[in-house]
A and B are shown apart, each in its own frame.
Chain A
Amino acid sequence: DTEVTQTPKHLVMGMTNKKSLKCEQHMGHRAMYWYKQKAKKPPELMFVYSYEKLSINESVPSRFSPECPNSSLLNLHLHALQPEDSALYLCASSPSPPSGFYNEQFFGPGTRLTVL
């Protein structure tokens, strides 16, 4: 298994809803990432987990809450989002911690989120 999977592919939610995005990889990677990407913009890093511990939080609002239940899974819990949070949310993983010498990040297909 050489891929990162994400569910759901599309999500529409209201500003009062609570939802979760899921990411899974079975490549034995020890670092996992959440990115947010707006149209025609590069991915923006949100969170990094290294060995199942949160190592980077890029000053993301608390309405986004990451969780890493085990080394293969990464969740992003969403609550009270705003319409401007509508974007493509990408999950990625890499073999070693982010500072490792060779550390290609493998991206999942993303979840297209629309907040009404």
Chain B
Amino acid sequence: GQNIDQPTEMTATEGAIVQINCTYQTSGFNGLFWYQQHAGEAPTFLSYNVLDGLEEKGRFSSFLSRSKGYSYLLLKELQMKDSASYLCAVRDPGSGSSNTGKLIFGQGTTLQVKP
């Protein structure tokens, strides 16, 4: 089966650092994405990991361990505008001739940043 777990909600203080964890158990793996989604808006791409290790992009970093089925998104120097839902998504390459590469989303983590 396909299972992606994230905490439902997190709260952090402006200026602080927060880590959002994601664990996955999927039949296939061809990369892990993190998206940010503000209420009522479309998801926007944050990061992509396909190899083990840390990818850094400004205030945001993402880590992947394929052997542990684990990823995290690290947000530094939190700002009020970072209050949003953060979606972890695994790309399943599919099987046989289908090779669909569809994204399987976790339920999302709602982050609230407080002053």
Q: Could you tell me which A residues sit within 8 Å of B by CB distance?
A: 40-45, 48, 55-56, 88, 90, 97-110
B105 and A56 contact, CB distance less than 8 A: no
A107 and B103 contact, CB distance less than 8 A: no
Q: In chain B, what residue has the closest Cβ to A58?
A: B102
A48 and B45 contact, CB distance less than 8 A: no
Docked CA distance A95–B98 (Å): 18
Determine the chain B residues whose CB is within 8 A of the CB of A98 once the complex forms: 91, 99-102
Apart from A42-B87, A43-B87, A43-B105, list 6 A-B contacts with CB within 8 A.
Answer: A42-B89, A90-B42, A90-B43, A99-B99, A104-B45, A110-B41
* Residues of chain B at interface, number, CB under 8 A: 28
Determine the chain B residues whose CB is within 8 A of the CB of A104 once the complex forms: 33, 45, 48
Give me the 5 closest cross-chain CB pairs, A-B, nearest first: A98-B101, A99-B101, A42-B105, A107-B42, A99-B99
The 24 sampled A-B contact pairs (Cβ below 8 Å) are A40-B108, A42-B89, A42-B108, A43-B43, A56-B100, A90-B42, A97-B101, A98-B102, A99-B30, A99-B94, A99-B99, A99-B100, A99-B101, A102-B31, A102-B48, A103-B31, A103-B91, A103-B101, A104-B45, A107-B44, A108-B42, A109-B42, A110-B41, A110-B42
Docked CA distance A36–B30 (Å): 23
Docked CA distance A44–B42 (Å): 13
- The distance from the CB of B30 to the nearest CB of chain A, in whole angstroms, is 7
Number of A-B contacts (CB under 8 A): 61
Determine the chain B residues whose CB is within 8 A of the CB of A109 once the complex forms: 41-42
Determine the chain A residues whose CB is within 8 A of the CB of B33 once the complex forms: 104-105
- The distance from the CB of B17 to the nearest CB of chain A, in whole angstroms, is 25
